[in-house]
Amino acid sequence: MKFWDKLKINHNPKSGALDLLKYIGPGLLVTVGFIDPGNWATNLAAGSTFGYALLWVVTFSSVMLIIIQHNVAHLGIVTGLCLAEATTKYIRRPLSVPILGSAMLASISTSLAEILGGAIALQMLFSIPIKAGSVIITIVSIVMLLTNTYSKIERWIITFVSIIGLSFLYELFLVDVSWGEAVKSWVTPTFPDNSLLIIMSVLGAVVMPHNLFLHSEVIQSREWNLEDEKVINKQLKYEFFDTLFSMVIGWAINSAMIILAASAFFSKNIQVEELSQAQDLLTPLVGNSAGVIFAVALLFAGISSTITSGIAGASVFAGFFGEAYSPKDLHTKLGTLLSFIPALLIIFFIGDPFKGLIISQMLLSVQLPITVFTQIYLTSSRKVMGRHVNKLSTTIILLLLGTMVTVLNIALLISLF
């Protein structure tokens, strides 16, 4: 029996706002990858260098993310399989093994960046060295994943996301925001001089391989009766609201980062290039509490994104064996460790956190097209999706977005050299 089956409610869902709330959760876990430490660094650079001008990139990337994540969630609902399981089942082994193998490497790369983000926050708050902080973040994440049920983890993640959001909301009250300019910039594309690299970074960091595996897996925690077509249709409808609601939260938090940087730093002609630098600069500008709250929010972002990266890695590894994610299953446990331990070792051997982040982004840039186009192939297959197969227009849109994301990530990869 699948882990998610044990979480089922043995009745059909009823209509109404309260019933809709039961479906809120999986999308928020995906949102964590949209507000991870890597996004923090990019957003702060965008706001401090170009002011409010690049807020439109967050809007555009959020719309793009809604479409792609909504599509992969449908795969999980319709088939009862996560992306990794579906790859194993419907794609021949000579192709499926390299696909999932590269996805496992992407999960390790993601974990490396998320662990580093949490470690940087510990250094800000308690002067803990990066390597020691990385060990602490890794141990906390492993313990949470191996000892908590999914429902408890989901509640923790929702709490973490709430803390992050409230932290930035508080900090926005401390700075003088030009809301008229911000609103205009949300919907008006502009390309300031020398902004292309930042634009590519913001867009390229939105769609992440592990989030596609993650969403197709955790959406099954809302399983009801997959044999009832009416129930499937209701799930598909409610999933869209969950994804939309969650991505809007991600849009708001990412926007808040850019607005904070624009108001606190750009207005004073200060460019931010590192996360620790942002805290150091915030303290004299808007008070000590702002610096502390910034670091606390980063800590929760690091922990929550590390946990979701671990779930994705475990899902991918279990998918090798045609199995679903289950904390009590050996393959899931091994997948969790395989996502974290190599990432931690790389941090120790590299020694330079910035170099570690570059390596992680390089691997993600190479792997992302593989995952995106695997997803499109599966959701466009009538054999896989049945009557819920992608419409031709949906497939064309996904192919265009997949190509755009691929080009952006290749451009980012080239820019690293």
**What's at 192, amino acid-wise?**
P
**How far apart are alpha carbons 260 and 40 in whole angstroms?**
11
* 352-376: average pLDDT: 76
What's the pLDDT at 117?
Answer: 87
Ramachandran class of 194: left when φ > 0, alpha when ψ lies in -120 to 50, beta otherwise: left
**How far apart are alpha carbons 217 and 324 in whole angstroms?**
8
- Write 189-197 long-range contacts (CB < 8 A, 24+): 189/56, 189/60, 190/53, 190/54, 190/56, 192/50, 192/53, 192/54, 195/49, 195/50, 195/53, 195/54, 197/412, 197/415
What's the pLDDT at 410?
Answer: 75
**How far apart are alpha carbons 213 and 309 in whole angstroms?**
10
**39: confidence class by pLDDT, cuts 50, 70, 90:** confident
- For residue 369, the tally of other CB atoms under 10 A from its CB is 17
**282: confidence class by pLDDT, cuts 50, 70, 90:** confident
Q: Which residue has the higher pLDDT, 227 or 140?
A: 140
**13: confidence class by pLDDT, cuts 50, 70, 90:** very low
Name, in order, each residue with C-beta under 8 angstroms of 309's C-beta and a sequence gap of 6 or more.
Answer: 33, 107, 110, 111, 114, 210, 339
* 337-364: average pLDDT: 78
pLDDT tens digits, 99-117:
999 999 989 988 988 898 8
- The secondary element (H helix, E strand) that includes residue 412 is helix 392-415
* 300-322: average pLDDT: 90
**How far apart are alpha carbons 229 and 252 in whole angstroms?**
35
Ramachandran class of 127: left when φ > 0, alpha when ψ lies in -120 to 50, beta otherwise: left
**287: confidence class by pLDDT, cuts 50, 70, 90:** low
What's the pLDDT at 238?
Answer: 75
**How far apart are alpha carbons 114 and 301 in whole angstroms?**
8
Structure tokens at 120: 């940087």
- For residue 319, the tally of other CB atoms under 10 A from its CB is 30
For domain 12-415, the CATH superfamily is Amino acid/polyamine transporter I (1.20.1740.10)
What's the pLDDT at 230?
Answer: 67
**How far apart are alpha carbons 93 and 95 in whole angstroms?**
5
| Percent of the chain surpassing pLDDT 90 | 28
> What angle do helix axes 83-90 and 353-379 make, rounded to 10 degrees?
60
What's the pLDDT at 313?
Answer: 92
Closest CA to 314 of 161, 145, 78: 145
Residues 86, 384 contacting (CB under 8 angstroms) = yes
Q: Phi/psi at 345 (nearest 5 deg)?
A: -65, -40
| Lowest-pLDDT range of 271-275, 298-302, 306-310 | 271-275
What's the pLDDT at 146?
Answer: 83
Average pLDDT, the chain: 82
Alpha helices by DSSP H, 80-208? 83-90, 93-126, 130-147, 150-172, 179-187, 196-204
- DSSP class of residue 329? S
pLDDT of 281 > 90? The answer is: no
